[in-house]
Amino acid sequence: MSESENDAEGDSSATSTDVLFFEVDEASMGIRVDAWVAELTGVSRAQVRRWIDAGRVLVAGAKVRASYRVSLGDSIEARPIEAVEMELTPEAIPLDVLYEDEDLIVIDKPAGLVVHPAPGHPNGTLVNALLNHCGDLAGIGGVLRPGIVHRLDRGTSGVLVAAKNDAAHQALSTQFAEHSIDRVYRALVRGLPRADEGRIDRPIGRHPRDRKRMSVVTKAGRDSITNWRVTRRFRDSTVSELEVHPETGRTHQIRVHLSAAGLPLVGDVIYGRARGRDALLGRPALHAAHLGFEHPRSGKRMGFDSVMPDDLLEWMAELGDAESPE
């Protein structure tokens, strides 16, 4: 997911199915294309948005955004993608469990742990660990990612929730889709922003030349909003610590938005072009510090926190004195 997230994934672990063709009638005018295609195909809107992001849904032969509203007579072509079947193996990977009940489990994920398997990386993931810890999660949320509601990048540490049954998965997925989840990240960035806080409202989509990266320079980006505020400025450095509140959950959203704003994450070799000591950190300096949501069964509001991990604390300690905005 976010970083967050409920993020759209690429189609590297997918195969094509038959091409589907639709034509918009009068009764369907004005409906969002992602919702309309989802209803006709019987798959989730999140899955249809993945098709759209991959350029696999065309209106009159052209790519569109998920928010496009269909018009009478629109001809729509959809090329669905399906997850490749993989045999998932439970593995006794240690988990730092913050909370667990019959419906869900909340994990404090360490940096370096991949959330779900993919072709070429079938083992050693959080999903493998959850299968060992929770038992049978088959089919919950999809073949490749049973129980997974959102994800954190491999290099991002912090709080993550997973579902243990279909009802919990649907309820939590809906909250992420409606942006009613509370998410707070802590980030170390290269840059000394003049303002104490800011808001980044720029669509994010696949990079026009590098499909493995995301970018704000795109013709088919999805609406993306990230809020940030400075918590500390290090006096003898160009590094600042930010508290980040993403309103949406796009792939690599925080990393892409902060880089576009001239505040790249320390340690981010992809979007921040980290060099020297930054690169030695070994991962983007991003930590999911808080996650809040309604329990899918009781409706009770719950919140979970994770302290800054040792690698980031040690890295900050070498920066020296810092000051907080007044």
- Render 46-107 in DSSP notation, one character per residue: HHHHHHHHTT-EEETTEE--TTPBP-TT-EEEE--EEEPP-----------EEEE-SSEEEE
Token pair, residue 190, equals: 């290269």
pLDDT at 15: 41
Cβ atoms 154, 10 nearer than 8 A: no
Place of tokens 């020296």: 320
CATH of domain 97-323: 3.30.2350.10
| Strand, coil or helix: 208 | coil
Q: How far apart are CA 295 and CA 302, in angstroms?
A: 7
CATH topology of domain 18-79: 3.10.290
Instruction: Give the mean pLDDT of the chain.
Output: 85
pLDDT at 7 over 70: no
Domain boundaries, the chain: 18-79, 97-323
Cβ atoms 159, 305 nearer than 8 A: yes
Active site residues: 153
pLDDT at 313: 95
pLDDT tens-digit readout, 191-211: 999 999 999 999 988 777 776
Cβ atoms 127, 105 nearer than 8 A: no
Q: How far apart are CA 143 and CA 166, in angstroms?
A: 13
* Band of pLDDT at residue 5, cut at 50, 70 and 90: very low
pLDDT at 53 over 50: yes
pLDDT tens-digit readout, 136-158: 675 555 555 668 889 899 999 99
Share of the chain above pLDDT 90, in %: 47
Share of the chain above pLDDT 70, in %: 87
Q: Which amino acid is at 292?
A: G
Q: What would you measure as the largest C-alpha separation in the chain, in angstroms?
A: 65
Cβ atoms 206, 214 nearer than 8 A: yes
Q: Helices 166-177 and 45-53: crossing angle, nearest 10°?
A: 50
The more confident residue out of 302 and 167 is 302
Q: How far apart are CA 321 and CA 326, in angstroms?
A: 16
Give the single-character DSSP code of 120: T
Given strand 57-59, what is the order of strands in its sheet? 20-23, 75-78, 57-59, 62-63
* Band of pLDDT at residue 229, cut at 50, 70 and 90: very high
- Cα dihedral 284/11/204/251 (nearest 10): -30
Minimum mean pLDDT among 171-185, 212-226, 302-316: which range? 212-226
Nearest to 155 by CA among 207, 205, 183, 115: 115
Distance of CA 30 to the CA centre of its chain: 28
